[in-house]
Amino acid sequence: MITTVAELEEVLTCPSDADREAMAALDGDLLILGVGGKMGPTLAIRARRAAPAGKRIIAVARFSEHGLREQLEAAGVECIKADLLDPAQLAALPDVRNVLCMFGRKFGSTGDPTLTWAMNVHLPGLVCERFKHSKIVAFSSGNVYGYSHVARGGSVETDECVPVGEYAWTGLGRERIYDYYSRHNKIPMILLRLNYAIDLRYGVLLDIGTKVAERKPVDLSMGAANVIWQGDANSVALRSFSHCTSPATVLNLTGPETLSVRRIAEYIGSHLGINPEFTGTESTDALLNNAQRCHRIYGYPSVTADQMLEWTAEWIALGGATLNKPTHFEARDGKF
């Protein structure tokens, strides 16, 4: 079991042999844009631990979160404070052959849609112009698909994109801009449609489990979800540079299971000795991705759904720390 934040950080940042091989084979240094989110800090440290001595791991963010820069620098990650929407600050970044784009905006999109469009659609174009001679790995979102029938097993990369809500449209716009520059400037690129990463401090499982623990009804409207351990998602990102192509490759990134929201609540409730309360009924469709192609390339995630459920249930029982950043995965109107 993982019982402390220190143990959790160790698990999340410990690189696999495949990570080490990928970082050793990487031609040049690594620049991570937008490191300040939920996934970025552990990805940067994982990359530093996996990379050979002498290979630079450079992380860029506004560093508004207290202590983040110090944490990364203590782990050997070089940090640059910059507002990526400022052309002068973007231009001043070092030339690096490998660029990993983690910037983007989801939560608060409904309240300030202009900033969401600027971050998710405008900024990718600026980055592609600035790093037109680099390889680019960029995180995207499974929200671009719209809903898939639960029995189908999730959307695949060749499915038509039918986004629900303005945030999802900016996700598709982001991909279109990246792909335009990949084609126009011959930039090798891969777009990772993530849906959803978790660690014990945030994510779909924690959202459901917290409702159970607080004896609040669990909404069943979005009756199923996919999740992947954050460490496994970050591992795929670090290993993706050798798979970049022009035009850009699109790849779903999630776990292999379709998880029932009701079953998640019942499992965690059983662990906590609580009978879950529910509201609504399961719809026949949900926001689901089929990541078989990803698993064929990179192998199955190292952390299973059962393990994630067990860890999350115990974390909640122990009163473990959270980031207080709900995913709002249950929103069916696309408003975040």
Pairing, β 98-101 against β 135-141: parallel
Closest CA to 217 of 226, 208, 229: 208
Confidence of residue 108 (pLDDT cuts 50, 70, 90): low
What's phi and psi for 78, nearest 5 deg?
-75, 135
Per residue in 241-296, pLDDT (tens digit) is: 999 999 999 999 999 999 999 999 999 999 999 999 999 999 999 999 999 999 99
CA R_g for the chain: 19
Closest CA to 278 of 301, 261, 256, 290: 261
Residue 333 has a pLDDT of: 80
Per residue in 186-233, pLDDT (tens digit) is: 999 999 999 999 999 999 999 999 999 999 999 999 999 999 999 999
Indicate whether 232 belongs to any domain.
Answer: yes
**Arithmetic mean of pLDDT, 60-69:** 95
**Enclosing H/E stretch for 298:** helix 292-298
Instruction: Report the amino acid identity of residue 21.
Output: E
Contact 40, 32 (CB under 8 A): yes
**Arithmetic mean of pLDDT, 71-86:** 98
Residue 110 has a pLDDT of: 66
The b-or-e profile of 238-270 (16+ CB within 10 A means b, else e) is: bbbbebbebebbbbbbbbbbbbbbbebbbbbbe
Say how far apart CA 109 and CA 170 lie, in whole Å. Answer: 10
Dump strand ranges (E) for the chain.
Answer: 30-33, 57-61, 78-81, 98-101, 135-141, 148-149, 189-194, 197-198, 218-219, 224-225, 228-229, 249-253, 259-260, 278-279, 285-286
pLDDT of 307 > 80? The answer is: yes
Q: Strand, coil or helix: what is 127? A: helix
Indicate whether 140 belongs to any domain.
Answer: yes
Say how far apart CA 212 and CA 206 lie, in whole Å. Answer: 10
Say how far apart CA 239 and CA 237 lie, in whole Å. Answer: 5
Q: The domain that contains 244 carries what CATH number?
A: 3.40.50.720
Per residue in 9-54, pLDDT (tens digit) is: 999 999 999 999 999 999 999 999 999 999 999 999 999 999 999 9
Say how far apart CA 279 and CA 208 lie, in whole Å. Answer: 12
Indicate whether 309 belongs to any domain.
Answer: no
Q: Average pLDDT of the chain?
A: 96
- Residue 318 CA: distances (Å) to CA of 1, 145, 216, 275, 310: 11, 37, 19, 18, 12
Tokens representing 295 are 């698993």
Indicate whether 324 belongs to any domain.
Answer: no
What is the total count of domains within the chain?
A: 1
Indicate whether 331 belongs to any domain.
Answer: no
**Enclosing H/E stretch for 316:** helix 305-317
Indicate whether 319 belongs to any domain.
Answer: no
- Residue that wins the pLDDT comparison between 133 and 107: 133
Indicate whether 222 belongs to any domain.
Answer: no
Which domain range does residue 22 map to? 5-197+227-255+290-298
Indicate whether 71 belongs to any domain.
Answer: yes
Residue 327 has a pLDDT of: 87
Residue 109 has a pLDDT of: 57
Percent of the chain with pLDDT over 70: 99
Tokens representing 202 are 């945030």
Residue 139: which region, alpha, beta or left (left: phi > 0; alpha: psi -120 to 50)? beta
Confidence of residue 107 (pLDDT cuts 50, 70, 90): low
Say how far apart CA 72 and CA 237 lie, in whole Å. Answer: 18
